[in-house]
A and B are shown apart, each in its own frame.
Chain A
């Protein structure tokens, strides 16, 4: 069981397959064999690297799958499983009701029916369906929040440049909290039926989002705690200013989710 050391020698840096015996550290210029193989390698790499690769292509991550670390995609993603990985995609993400993402998401558009703990950044659109459970900030030009969705976090939408935030009154949470949302409300499409307070964050129950724990795995995963922690300073500073006497500090909400 000792591949880590050996493999570096066997695969050259550019990903070509080195059929030369390991005794020769610098393989001679391509033999016929080497050339054939390395071409196919390059193709594989090129395909994998091309952002244009796959309009219409789609990957579905099944319910029993757990991904940790970092995930990059240039095709549509449908997630039924659990992603504890920074997720970046030049295409669309659909997080199904059983899906969980515990990390930051950067995609073209996202339709969330599952649980996200982490920020969501979408270049086109975010939609939170009635089943969505999201704790984290959302940055997108177009946002739809359906009745029933639960959300806690900041919303930033392009198109409001030059508009200052209302002065902080800091009297209580309900007064302080809706301001980012209210600013964005003009652009927020609410359906099916607008409720009196369509996007207002639910009252400060400590944990509106309950992460179901199918194979929670070792909670020691580096990613899941990292996300909230990373944002915690910024958030708590902001919230501390906005809601000084709020009984439960935001941190509790963050961590009770994990």
Chain B
């Protein structure tokens, strides 16, 4: 049963989230996110966490380092501070980003 978990706007998590299904964050998460699938930070979402995932899409704000095995996309409303390590990185027009990007594949 691989669905999608959507953490709504009023959800606030301090700590750690682990999962093997898609995760959409509309609320607040602080700490650590570990996912084998896709993580999406919606426009209302706010994340201060170390993120380790397959694909990541940021349309809200994200602060923390990201290690992705797939694609990282910072959408046009996305704002991010932190270092990104992923084979594919997309920064959309309008997105704001500060940090390092490393697309080297060393596996």
A interface, CB within 8 angstroms of B: 1-3, 6-7, 10-11, 15, 17, 19, 37, 41, 44-45, 47-48, 50-51, 53-54, 57-75, 77, 80-81, 85, 215, 217, 223
* Complexed CA–CA distance, A2 and B47 (Å): 16
Query: Is the Cβ of A64 less than 8 Å from the Cβ of B21?
Result: yes
For this complex, 28 residue pairs linking A to B, each with C-beta atoms less than 8 Å apart, are A3-B63, A3-B64, A3-B83, A3-B99, A10-B63, A41-B61, A47-B44, A48-B9, A53-B9, A53-B10, A57-B10, A58-B8, A61-B5, A62-B5, A63-B21, A66-B17, A66-B19, A67-B13, A67-B17, A67-B18, A68-B18, A69-B13, A69-B16, A69-B31, A73-B10, A73-B11, A75-B8, A75-B10
Report how many residues on chain B are interfacial, defined by Cβ distance under 8 Å.
43
Query: Is the Cβ of A59 less than 8 Å from the Cβ of B81?
Result: no
Query: Is the Cβ of A70 less than 8 Å from the Cβ of B17?
Result: no
B65 at the interface (CB under 8 A from A): yes
Q: Give which listed residue, B1, B18, B28, contacts A48 with CB less than 8 A.
A: B28
B60 at the interface (CB under 8 A from A): yes
Q: Give which listed residue, B1, B9, B50, contacts A47 with CB less than 8 A.
A: B9
Closest to A47 in B: B9
Query: Is the Cβ of B81 less than 8 Å from the Cβ of A7?
Result: yes
| Inter-chain contacts of B101 with A (CB < 8 A) | none
Q: Give which listed residue, A11, A66, A75, contacts B9 with CB less than 8 A.
A: A75
Query: Is the Cβ of B18 less than 8 Å from the Cβ of A65?
Result: yes
Query: Is the Cβ of A7 less than 8 Å from the Cβ of B9?
Result: no
* Complexed CA–CA distance, A15 and B60 (Å): 13
Query: Is the Cβ of A17 less than 8 Å from the Cβ of B98?
Result: no
B interface, CB within 8 angstroms of A: 1-21, 23, 27-28, 31, 43-46, 48, 50, 60-61, 63-65, 79, 81-83, 96, 98-99
Prevailing SS type, chain B contact patch? strand
| Inter-chain contacts of B96 with A (CB < 8 A) | 17, 19, 37
Closest to B42 in A: A44
| Inter-chain contacts of A10 with B (CB < 8 A) | 63, 81, 98
| Inter-chain contacts of B48 with A (CB < 8 A) | 7
Query: Is the Cβ of A44 less than 8 Å from the Cβ of B11?
Result: no
Closest to B18 in A: A66
* Complexed CA–CA distance, A19 and B12 (Å): 26
A3/B82 contact (C-beta < 8 A), A45-B46, A62-B4, A71-B12 known = yes
* Complexed CA–CA distance, A7 and B63 (Å): 7
Q: Give which listed residue, A1, A45, A65, A74, contacts B21 with CB less than 8 A.
A: A65
Query: Is the Cβ of B17 less than 8 Å from the Cβ of A65?
Result: yes
Query: Is the Cβ of B19 less than 8 Å from the Cβ of A81?
Result: yes
* Complexed CA–CA distance, A249 and B11 (Å): 38
Q: Give which listed residue, B6, B20, B31, contacts A59 with CB less than 8 A.
A: B6
| Inter-chain contacts of A19 with B (CB < 8 A) | 96
Closest to B60 in A: A44
Query: Is the Cβ of A64 less than 8 Å from the Cβ of B2?
Result: yes
Closest to A60 in B: B5
B53 CB to closest chain A CB, in angstroms? Answer: 13
